[in-house]
């Protein structure tokens, strides 16, 4: 691959980030970090959606301007992603000046083309969804199924986008590109929605919604969420209706756009239609992930089970976010729902990161120092019975990431860890040393450490801090590209420094893990 461009949904800043937001950002970051190990030109975009009636109302209730309110809440999202080691390339805000100007140009181009027209409209508007709903979208009681509130009847003159004009082209694209929507079982859901699609409102009367990007040449209207928010994926790169930036030309189309399943319709129907109208290529993949429940219950403010991601780090006294990142990224199969619980979190990361992987490295390094002063001798090399299994795991992990199967990739890594642990148990290097079989003992230990360099690279996207600590103790360059991994990094004379040997991750119920003790 020559380049990899990935995006997340931009988060609405009407509230603080919660564990559902964190799941998407961690999932995207893990995918992004994996592809940085495979290609040179990579880019990761995230950000915040900052216009609309909810922001206008909430800021008014607080007695501050919408921009002040957005500034405060956007920073909360930035702080959360920093705490979780989300290594984005750019954080876009829809109040950014560049975004505002380009969105106005896009709106004008589509209007001049005849794809946007003005029309009087009466419809059912859900402020929670920031969307007009039809009768068939509602429950039997006439409520929005997502917010369980009755939409209000809104009558105003708006600009509309000719979504119906691009209906057939989108259907054809989905059918001829079965991997466009990931997971593929969601494609039928989208095709069904396309059957009854109508043109969509892309502006609101300023008399009803004043907090938005003004329509050039029509002071009575502001640009509505779909042209505004969805366009961030190209405005961030410097797309221009006249001459786009070199960055845009090098990175677009996106390789994968990662969003929640609840906004798949907007990203697999509305967004492709806008791109087609702009004569731009469509993203290669739209990945719709599932939701994260809390103790098997959907998150809800009324239930009081909305969890802040940084609160988890604080509750478990974690000085690095790696355990939480690993747990969240591996919480669900591709596109399915996952679950978070404190007990499961602790049990899983203790078992995988501390007991299986961390302990394997620590005891093997300690034995090499104890029996051979940390020195890898020439006679220990060239007889690695684990090499083929390790390199096959690299291929398998790459394959899973090609299909964005992150949980499945994590399972393959842990299968390799378990395989190597069994190899240590079966060969018992401590017994070999006691019996005087020093060369065989050295071969076993060296074989394990060679594989640990591979494991460090594979676990890096999930646990960058732990992987770096593993690499430091092994004297291994964690930046080695996956295509260049040989499982033969440790060479004759390679010396392990006993002063560097320490657990890369302590069990969360260990007294040593409590910094106060």
Question: What are the pLDDT digits (tens) for 428-476?
Answer: 999 999 999 999 999 999 999 999 999 999 999 999 999 999 999 999 9
Looking at the structure, tell me whether residues 247 and 357 fall in a common domain.
no
21 a catalytic residue: yes
Is the model's pLDDT at 304 over the cut of 90?
no
Q: Say what the pLDDT of residue 4 is.
A: 98
Q: Say what the pLDDT of residue 140 is.
A: 82
Tell me how many domains the chain contains: 2
Q: Say what the pLDDT of residue 147 is.
A: 74
Looking at the structure, tell me whether residues 274 and 379 fall in a common domain.
no
57 a catalytic residue: no
- Pick the catalytic residue from 70, 129, 334, 487: 129
Looking at the structure, tell me whether residues 380 and 468 fall in a common domain.
yes
Q: Which of 294, 327, 356 is the last residue of a domain?
A: 294
Is the model's pLDDT at 512 over the cut of 60?
no
Q: Which of 294, 328, 362 is the last residue of a domain?
A: 294
Is the model's pLDDT at 144 over the cut of 90?
no
- 495 inside domain: yes
- 305 inside domain: no
- 94 inside domain: yes
301 a catalytic residue: yes
- 31 inside domain: yes
- 138 versus 284: the higher-pLDDT residue is 284
Q: Among 386, 360, 373, 326, which Cα is nearest to 504's?
A: 360
Q: Say what the pLDDT of residue 256 is.
A: 98
Looking at the structure, tell me whether residues 289 and 347 fall in a common domain.
no
* Domain span including residue 484: 341-513
- Pick the catalytic residue from 67, 113, 119, 147: 147
pLDDT digits (tens, 9 = 90+) for 108-118: 999 999 999 99
Instruction: Report residue 123's pLDDT band, with 50, 70 and 90 as the boundaries.
Output: confident
Looking at the structure, tell me whether residues 219 and 105 fall in a common domain.
yes
| SS3 state at 115 | coil
- Pick the catalytic residue from 18, 51, 78, 412: 18
Looking at the structure, tell me whether residues 82 and 165 fall in a common domain.
yes
Q: Say what the pLDDT of residue 122 is.
A: 79
Q: Name the residue with tokens 């009324």.
A: 302
Looking at the structure, tell me whether residues 390 and 492 fall in a common domain.
yes
- 478 inside domain: yes
Looking at the structure, tell me whether residues 274 and 369 fall in a common domain.
no
- Pick the catalytic residue from 113, 149, 298, 395: 298
Is the model's pLDDT at 362 over the cut of 90?
yes
Q: Say what the pLDDT of residue 380 is.
A: 95
Q: Say what the pLDDT of residue 222 is.
A: 97
Structure tokens at 203: 């502006």
Listing DSSP states for 153-190 in one string gives: EEEEEEEEE-GGGGHHHHHHHHHH-TTSEESGGGHHHH
**Averaged pLDDT for residues 86-99:** 98
pLDDT digits (tens, 9 = 90+) for 164-193: 999 999 999 999 999 999 999 999 999 999
Q: Say what the pLDDT of residue 69 is.
A: 97
Looking at the structure, tell me whether residues 262 and 174 fall in a common domain.
yes
Average pLDDT across the chain, whole number: 93
- Pick the catalytic residue from 51, 99, 144, 463: 144
Sheet order of strands, 218-223 included? 203-205, 218-223, 213-215
| SS3 state at 99 | helix
Q: Which of 264, 294, 324 is the last residue of a domain?
A: 294
CA distances from 26 to 32, 54, 82, 88 (A): 10, 27, 11, 10
Q: Please state, in angstroms and rounded to a whole number, the distance separating the CA atoms of residues 97 and 24.
A: 26
Looking at the structure, tell me whether residues 289 and 353 fall in a common domain.
no
Q: Please state, in angstroms and rounded to a whole number, the distance separating the CA atoms of residues 312 and 43.
A: 28
Is the model's pLDDT at 482 over the cut of 60?
yes
- Pick the catalytic residue from 51, 78, 99, 126: 126
| Domain harbouring 7, CATH code | 3.40.50.620
CA distances from 145 to 132, 381, 428 (A): 13, 63, 59
Angle between helix 322-329 and helix 464-474 axes, rounded to 10 deg = 120
Label residue 141 exposed, middle or buried (CB < 10 Å: 0-12, 13-18, 19+).
exposed
12 sits in which H/E element: strand 11-12
Q: Among 351, 375, 395, which Cα is nearest to 449's?
A: 375
| Domain harbouring 402, CATH code | 1.10.730.10
Instruction: Report residue 299's pLDDT band, with 50, 70 and 90 as the boundaries.
Output: low
105 a catalytic residue: no
Instruction: Report residue 513's pLDDT band, with 50, 70 and 90 as the boundaries.
Output: low
pLDDT digits (tens, 9 = 90+) for 204-239: 999 989 999 999 999 999 998 889 999 999 999 999
- 299 inside domain: no
Task: Tell me the sheet residues that pair with 116.
Answer: 161
- Pick the catalytic residue from 122, 136, 243, 301: 301
Share of the chain above pLDDT 70, in %: 97
| SS3 state at 249 | helix
Is the model's pLDDT at 268 over the cut of 80?
yes
pLDDT digits (tens, 9 = 90+) for 368-384: 999 999 999 999 998 89
Q: Say what the pLDDT of residue 128 is.
A: 72
- 35 inside domain: yes
441 a catalytic residue: no
144 a catalytic residue: yes
Looking at the structure, tell me whether residues 110 and 47 fall in a common domain.
yes
Label residue 490 exposed, middle or buried (CB < 10 Å: 0-12, 13-18, 19+).
buried
Q: Please state, in angstroms and rounded to a whole number, the distance separating the CA atoms of residues 304 and 311.
A: 14
Lowest mean pLDDT among 130-144, 257-271, 339-353, 414-428: 130-144
Q: Say what the pLDDT of residue 517 is.
A: 38
- 49 inside domain: yes
Looking at the structure, tell me whether residues 282 and 375 fall in a common domain.
no
């Amino acid at each position: 691959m020559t380049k990899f461009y990935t995006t997340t949904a931009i988060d609405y800043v009407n509230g603080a980030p919660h564990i559902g937001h964190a799941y998407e950002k961690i999932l995207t970051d893990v995918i992004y970090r994996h592809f940085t190990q495979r290609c040179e030109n990579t880019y990761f975009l995230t950000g915040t959606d900052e216009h609309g009636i909810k922001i206008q109302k909430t800021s008014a209730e607080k007695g501050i301007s919408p921009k002040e309110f957005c500034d405060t809440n956007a920073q909360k999202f930035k702080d959360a992603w920093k705490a979780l080691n989300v290594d984005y390339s750019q954080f876009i805000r829809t109040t950014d000046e560049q975004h505002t100007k380009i969105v106005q140009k896009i709106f004008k181009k589509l209007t001049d083309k005849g794809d946007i027209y003005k029309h009087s409209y009466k419809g059912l508007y859900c402020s929670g969804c920031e969307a007009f709903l039809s009768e068939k979208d509602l429950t039997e009681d006439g409520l929005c199924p997502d917010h369980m509130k009755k939409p209000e009847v809104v009558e105003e003159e708006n600009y509309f986008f000719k979504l119906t004009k691009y209906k057939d082209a989108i259907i054809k694209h989905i059918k001829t590109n079965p991997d466009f929507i990931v997971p593929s079982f969601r494609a039928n859901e989208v095709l069904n929605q396309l059957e009854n699609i109508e043109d969509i409102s892309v502006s609101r009367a300023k008399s009803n919604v004043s907090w938005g990007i003004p329509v050039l040449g029509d002071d009575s209207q502001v640009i509505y969420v779909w042209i505004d928010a969805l366009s961030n994926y190209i405005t961030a790169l410097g797309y221009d209706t006249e001459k786009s930036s070199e960055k845009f030309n090098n990175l677009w189309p996106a390789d994968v756009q990662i969003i929640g399943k609840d906004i798949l319709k907007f990203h697999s129907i509305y967004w492709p239609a806008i791109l087609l109208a702009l004569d731009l290529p469509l993203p290669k993949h739209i990945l719709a992930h599932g939701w994260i429940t809390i103790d098997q219950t959907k998150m809800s403010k009324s239930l009081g089970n909305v969890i802040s991601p940084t609160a988890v780090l604080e509750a478990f006294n974690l000085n690095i976010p790696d355990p939480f990142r690993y747990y969240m990224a591996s919480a669900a199969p591709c596109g399915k729902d996952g679950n978070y619980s404190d007990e499961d979190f602790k049990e899983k990361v203790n078992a995988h990161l501390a007991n299986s992987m961390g302990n394997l490295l620590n005891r093997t390094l300690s034995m090499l120092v104890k029996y051979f002063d940390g020195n890898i001798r020439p006679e220990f090399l060239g007889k690695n019975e684990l090499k083929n299994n390790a390199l096959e795991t690299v291929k398998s992990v790459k394959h899973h990431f090609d299909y964005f199967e992150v949980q499945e990739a994590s399972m393959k890594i842990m299968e390799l860890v378990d395989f190597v642990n069994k190899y240590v148990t079966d060969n018992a290097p401590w017994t070999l040393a006691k019996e005087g079989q020093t060369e065989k003992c050295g071969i076993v230990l060296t074989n394990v450490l060679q594989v640990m360099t591979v494991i460090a690279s594979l676990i890096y996207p999930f646990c960058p801090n732990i992987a770096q600590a593993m690499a430091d103790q092994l004297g291994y360059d964690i930046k080695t590209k996956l295509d260049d991994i040989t499982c033969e990094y440790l060479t004759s004379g390679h010396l392990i420094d006993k002063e560097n040997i320490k657990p890369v991750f302590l069990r969360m119920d260990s007294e040593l893990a409590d910094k106060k003790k």
